[in-house]
Amino acid sequence: MSVAHGIKTLGVIGAGQMGLGIAYVAALRAKVTVQLYDRSPEQISKGLNLMDRLLAKDISKGKIQEADARHARERVSVIDQVVGVRALRDVDMVIEAVSENLEVKQRIFRELAAETRPETILATNTSSISITKIAASAVPQGESAASALGKRSAGRVVGLHFFNPVPVMKLVELISALQTSEDTLSRARAFAVACDKDVTVSKDVPGFVSNALLMPFINEAIMWLERGIATRDDIDKTLRLGMNHPMGPLQLADFIGLDTCLAIQKTLYSGTGDSKYRPSVLLERMVDAGWFGRKNGKGFYEYD
C-alpha cells in the first residue's frame, strides 16, 4: 500500500549539483513548491541557470510540455540571504545538500530544529556521514536527547541519498538514524517515489551501501594509476568496455568531485578504522593542489 507523503512545500539547502538536481525533480516530478537556499548568491544563479537549461532540453526532446516546465519553474523560489533558514519555518520537509562536512551539517540541523515546525521532516543528502550524529544535533538547545521532546525532534531526521546526475539516476538510498521515527521513514520513502525514484534501504554505517562499495573501487583505481600499472585511459577503458560501466572509475571520481571522494573516504576510514578505506596519496595530493575534477575544470581529465 502506498503511503501519502503529505509534502506540499520543500526547502532545499545547498544549490550545488545535488541540491539543484533535488529541487528539479521535486518541482517537476513530485510537483511540490521548493524554496532554495544557498549562502552563495553566485551558486544560486548558476543553479537556476542549470535548471532552465535542463527544462529547455527536456522540452526539446519532447519529454515534457512547455507548460510543465513553466509550472515547475514557478514552483521554485529563492530564499533571501538575509532571512536564511528562518524562511523554512512553514515547510513540510527540508533536504540539506551542502558539502560533506559534519560541523557544517550539525550547525544547519541545530538551526532547523529551532526554526521549523516539529512535524517538518529534516532530511540530509549526505553520502557518508552518520545520520545518527546529524540527528543528535536536531535536539533543541537545552533539551536532553532522551527526553520526549528531544526524541521527537531527532526522530524527524532521515538520510535521503540521491545520486548524480539527480534527474537521470533512478536510485535514492534511504537511511534511518537510530532516532528516526517510522512515520518519518515512510513519508521520506513516499516522497522519493513521488520524485520518480526507486528506493533501497541501508543501515547507518559509514558510506551506507553505495559508497562503502564504490569508494574502495575508485580508490583502488587511483592507486593503480599511481603505481603505473596502467594508464589513466586504459584503466577507464577496461571498466567501460570490459564491464559495461558508463564511466571508468577515474572519470567517475572526477564526475563526483575529487574533494567529495576524499571527504567520503576519510569518513569511511575514520568511521571503520579499516585500512581498505585509506585514501590514496595521489588523491590527497590532487585535492591539495585544488584539482577537484569536473566541477572546477581539472582532475584526472581536463574540462572546459
Q: Which stretch binds ligand CAA (CB under 6 A): 40-48, 70-78, 158-166, 236-244?
A: 158-166
Q: Smaller CB distance to ligand CAA: residue 72 or 139?
A: 72
Largest Cα separation within the chain, whole Å, is 57
Q: What is the Cα–Cα distance from 93 to 37, expressed in whole angstroms?
A: 14
Q: Three cell numbers at 150? A: 528531544
Q: Smaller CB distance to ligand CAA: residue 154 or 175?
A: 175
> Is 19 annotated for ligand binding?
yes
Q: Three cell numbers at 241? A: 568496455
Catalytic residue, candidates 5, 153, 161, 202? 161
Catalytic residue, candidates 5, 96, 127, 128? 127
Question: Is residue 291 helix, strand or coil?
Answer: coil
Out of 1, 67, 148, 168, name the contact with ligand CAA by CB under 6 A.
Answer: 168
Total chain residues near ligand CAA (CB under 6 A): 16
Residues 189-248 that bind ligand CAA (CB under 6 A): 210-211, 246-247
Q: Which stretch binds ligand CAA (CB under 6 A): 54-62, 79-87, 144-152, 278-286?
A: 54-62
> What's the alpha-carbon Rg for the chain, to the nearest Å?
19
> Is 230 annotated for ligand binding?
no
Q: What is the Cα–Cα distance from 257 to 182, expressed in whole angstroms?
A: 33
Residue 47, interface with ligand CAA (CB under 6 A)? no
Q: What is the Cα–Cα distance from 77 to 82, expressed in whole angstroms?
A: 15
For 261, residues 6+ apart whose C-beta sits below 8 A from its C-beta are 215, 218, 219, 253, 283
> Is 127 annotated for ligand binding?
yes
Q: What does the angle CA 214 – CA 220 – CA 224 come to, to the nearest 5 degrees? A: 150
Q: What is the Cα–Cα distance from 170 to 168, expressed in whole angstroms?
A: 6
Residue 54, interface with ligand CAA (CB under 6 A)? yes
Closest CA to 167 of 11, 17, 12: 17
Active site residue 211: yes
**DSSP letter string over 51-104?**
HHHHHHHHHHTTSS-HHHHHHHHHHEEE--TTTGGGGGTT-SEEEE---S-HHH
* Least distance from ligand CAA to the Cβ atom of residue 180, Å: 19
Amino acid, single-letter form, for residue 151 = K
Catalytic residue, candidates 153, 173, 181, 219? 173
Q: Three cell numbers at 169? A: 539516476
Residue 256, interface with ligand CAA (CB under 6 A)? yes
* Least distance from ligand CAA to the Cβ atom of residue 21, Å: 7
Q: What residues are annotated to the active site? A: 127, 161, 173, 211
Q: Which residues are annotated as a binding site for NAD(+)?
A: 14-19, 38, 100, 105, 127, 164, 295
Binding-site positions: 14-19, 38, 100, 105, 127, 164, 295
Residues that bind ligand CAA (CB under 6 A): 54, 57, 61, 127, 163-165, 167-169, 210-211, 246-247, 252, 256
